[in-house]
């Protein structure tokens, strides 16, 4: 029987959110209401009725829908971190809508919701299938979903980058804009939410029985497979409808059920009831405060990015509450083979040389055909290409070496600068530099280093209580990445001309790299990689554990701090050229390890060669595949790297 006392806390939270949003909305609407009393102010009256009020209604309905979606995901998957954002469902819908709007716009008029449903369903199938292999482990589900979100975001960024005429509108809508011009969207969302809410009533009893455990609920007649399919379908539909209408609103589905649970809603029926109400009040409050603070910019600042800024810290705070039922396997540091440091390195060096020659001398001619560089213009062509090639090569090598350091220090073969959020921290530093100071290359590098080191510090402080468990470190890094990306998204949506420059830089484009910039990048890379190779003894011994390391005289705290700082420097320098999302720092060390390079020195050398080669190949593909347009090298490598990470997760067994 549901206790009335359990409902008091959620009710108080709901009333406080509604009162706060109501007060903020009153300050927003008061000037318009005073002017509406005058008979000659028809424009003000129309704006109030057809823009202000529909926006407030949309915030309430969208917040309720996302919160209900998150509550359903959390209950059926038994995962307190599940929501449309962390499971990649919203990102899948957003990507499907972006692709359709650019290439098949006629389909949007016929079935915008259907397009969003297809994208959301595809994302849900991928994530749930990966999670099913690990018994729906909370970590595997959320990690798969967030990585899928990164991949969908990268592809959407490529499409947006190639269609810069629609850059601002696509970006603001994709980041979650509640701006309205009529009552069409809120009324459409309202009846869809009502239908799904009624459907939830029919699955409430079997959902409640899941609290008894899978064995007990099955014994009582619950068909788990069918129940999961129905409930996930309902949750996916809710997220798809909201994304179709207003874009991606981040973390409401995570925050609202968490607040409901912490305030006293412990039973499934209470959670399903109070989560939508709290979600409605939360988004209503957040959007009202945003409009009040932003003033005239309120229609241009994406509400979804703002909610992500506050949702990511909550995700970090919730990590210690998760029970680790499934652990990711740590990399096996195999005994070195006789040819451990010779044959794979020679093969990688030869392959890199071939890639460099192809990238430098092969390209597209004016007619779109393939042609080798020769003749009187060859020097001019090489003068343009070589700085870009060298910058891509150096950046890929630095990211791969940084990834090797991080993987050996954390004992986690899925650690990398991109996954741990270090690249996102460097991005945040560069964004602050561009918008606040606007320095040159050296100044941007200093800000990028500060951002990368700051993210490293937060990750390992938040993961220290769990003894740096690989799953917690990964999720902490991805949560910080989401928060930093949201902050950068808010900056990018202000309409400032530097936002386009920031977007181009984040995509990892080498288009504007000149000889002087490439020379500085090569010099930085040479110094930092040389220092990393000099630390090979530490990296060979530290993975063995604290006791063996201390026994041979290695200062644990100082060595770890120095190596993490070195990884941050390498990441910051590389991110300046290839952007924050290349996954080279993940692929390079892994491929080197698969080639048999187990010791630190050969692994770093092999990873540097492989990482540099992958980035050179990505730059070549991006430069030639849609010539005369250019796809940024960072985004090309990201589209390969994210599926690569998910394939690694699929192969890792449960220990």
Domains belonging to the chain, first-starting first, are: 4-321 (1.10.3470.10), 392-651 (1.10.3470.10)
Report whether 453 contacts 588 (CB < 8 A).
no
Mean residue pLDDT across the chain:
79
pLDDT at residue 469, as a whole number? 58
Structure tokens at 335: 């005994």
Q: What proportion of the chain, given as a percentage, has pLDDT over 70?
A: 79
pLDDT at residue 320, as a whole number? 62
Comparing 604 with 175, which gets the higher pLDDT? 604
Buried b (16+ CB within 10 A) or exposed e, 132-164: ebbebbbbbbbbbbbbbbbbbbbbbbbbbbeee
Question: Would you report the helix, strand and coil content of the chain in percent, each value rounded to 5?
Answer: 75, 0, 20
pLDDT at residue 288, as a whole number? 86
Report whether 278 contacts 462 (CB < 8 A).
no
221-230, 464-473, 539-548: which has the minimum mean pLDDT?
464-473
Rounded to 10°, the helix 556-578/378-410 angle is 150
DSSP assignment of 424-470: HHHHHHHHHIIIII---HHHHHHHHHHHHHHHHHHHHHHTGGGTS-H
Comparing 146 with 443, which gets the higher pLDDT? 443
DSSP assignment of 242-269: HHHHH----SHHHHHHHHHHHTT--SHH
Residue 37 has pLDDT above 80, yes or no: no
- Measured between alpha carbons, how far is 596 from 341 in angstroms, rounded to an integer? 8
411: left (phi over 0), alpha (psi -120 to 50) or beta: left
- Measured between alpha carbons, how far is 189 from 208 in angstroms, rounded to an integer? 27
Residue 424 has pLDDT above 60, yes or no: yes
- Measured between alpha carbons, how far is 393 from 324 in angstroms, rounded to an integer? 39
pLDDT (tens digit per residue) in 64-114: 999 999 999 888 887 777 888 878 888 888 888 888 887 877 777 667 888
**How many Cα atoms within 13 Å fall on the side-chain side of residue 351?**
18
Model pTM?
0.74
Structure tokens at 238: 């809710």
Of the candidates 416, 419, 383, 355, the residue with the CA atom closest to the CA atom of residue 619: 355
Comparing 32 with 283, which gets the higher pLDDT? 283
Average pLDDT on 141-163 reads: 73
């Amino acid at each position: 029987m549901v206790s009335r006392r359990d409902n008091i806390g959620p009710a108080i939270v709901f009333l406080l959110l509604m009162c706060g949003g109501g007060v903020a909305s009153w300050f927003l609407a008061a000037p318009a209401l005073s002017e509406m009393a005058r008979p000659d102010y028809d424009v003000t009256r129309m704006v109030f009725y057809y823009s202000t009020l529909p926006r407030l209604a949309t915030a309430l309905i969208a917040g309720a829908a996302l919160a209900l979606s998150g509550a359903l995901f959390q209950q059926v998957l038994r995962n307190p971190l599940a929501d449309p954002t962390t499971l990649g469902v919203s990102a899948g819908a957003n990507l499907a809508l972006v692709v359709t709007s650019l290439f098949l716009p006629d389909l949007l008029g016929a079935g915008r919701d259907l397009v969003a449903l297809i994208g959301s369903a595809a994302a849900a199938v991928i994530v749930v299938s990966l999670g099913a292999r690990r018994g729906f482990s909370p970590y595997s589900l959320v990690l798969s979903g967030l990585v899928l979100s990164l991949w969908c975001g990268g592809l959407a960024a490529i499409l947006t980058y190639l269609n810069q005429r629609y850059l601002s509108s696509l970006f603001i809508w994709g980041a979650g804009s509640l701006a309205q011009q009529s009552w069409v969207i809120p009324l459409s969302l309202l009846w869809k939410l009502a239908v799904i809410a009624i459907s939830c009533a029919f699955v409430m009893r079997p959902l409640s029985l899941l609290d008894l455990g899978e064995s007990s609920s099955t014994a009582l007649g619950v068909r788990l497979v069918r129940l999961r399919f129905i409930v996930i379908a309902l949750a996916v539909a809710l997220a798809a409808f909201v994304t179709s209408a207003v874009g991606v609103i981040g973390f409401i589905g995570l925050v609202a059920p968490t607040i409901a649970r912490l305030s006293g809603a412990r039973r499934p029926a209470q959670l399903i009831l109070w989560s939508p109400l709290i979600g409605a009040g939360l988004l209503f409050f957040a959007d009202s405060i945003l409009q009040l603070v932003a003033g005239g910019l309120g229609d241009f600042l994406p509400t979804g990015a703002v909610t992500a800024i506050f949702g990511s810290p909550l995700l970090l705070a919730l990590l210690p509450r998760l029970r680790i039922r499934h652990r990711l396997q740590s990399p096996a540091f195999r005994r070195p083979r006789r040819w451990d440091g010779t044959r794979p390195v020679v093969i990688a060096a030869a392959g890199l040389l071939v890639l460099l020659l192809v990238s430098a001398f092969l390209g597209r001619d004016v007619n779109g055909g393939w042609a080798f560089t020769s003749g009187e213009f060859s020097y001019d062509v090489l003068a343009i290409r070589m700085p870009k090639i060298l910058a891509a090569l150096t950046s890929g090598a630095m990211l791969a070496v940084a990834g090797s350091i991080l993987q050996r220090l954390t004992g986690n073969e899925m650690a990398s600068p991109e996954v741990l959020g270090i690249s996102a921290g460097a991005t945040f530093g560069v964004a602050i530099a561009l918008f606040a100071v606007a320095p040159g290359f050296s100044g941007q590098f200093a800000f990028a280093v500060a951002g990368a080191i700051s993210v490293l510090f937060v990750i390992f402080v938040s993961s220290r209580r769990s003894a740096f468990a690989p799953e917690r470190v990964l999720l902490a890094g991805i949560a910080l990445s989401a928060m930093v990306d949201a902050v950068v998204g808010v900056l990018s949506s202000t309409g400032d001309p530097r936002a386009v420059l920031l977007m181009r830089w984040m995509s990892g484009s080498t288009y504007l790299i000149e000889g002087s910039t490439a020379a500085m990048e090569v010099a930085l890379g040479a110094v930092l990689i040389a220092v990393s190779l000099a630390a090979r003894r530490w990296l060979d011994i530290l993975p063995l554990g604290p006791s063996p390391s201390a026994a041979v005289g290695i200062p644990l705290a100082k060595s770890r701090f120095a190596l993490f700082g070195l990884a941050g420097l390498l990441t910051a320098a590389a991110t300046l050229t290839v952007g924050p999302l290349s996954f080279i720092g993940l692929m390079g060390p892994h491929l080197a390890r698969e080639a048999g390079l187990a010791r630190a020195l050969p692994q770093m050398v092999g990873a540097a060669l492989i990482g540099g080669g992958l980035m050179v190949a990505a730059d070549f593909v991006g430069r030639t595949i849609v010539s005369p347009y250019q796809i940024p090298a960072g985004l090309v490598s990201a589209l390969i790297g994210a599926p690569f990470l998910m394939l690694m997760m699929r192969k890792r067994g449960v220990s």
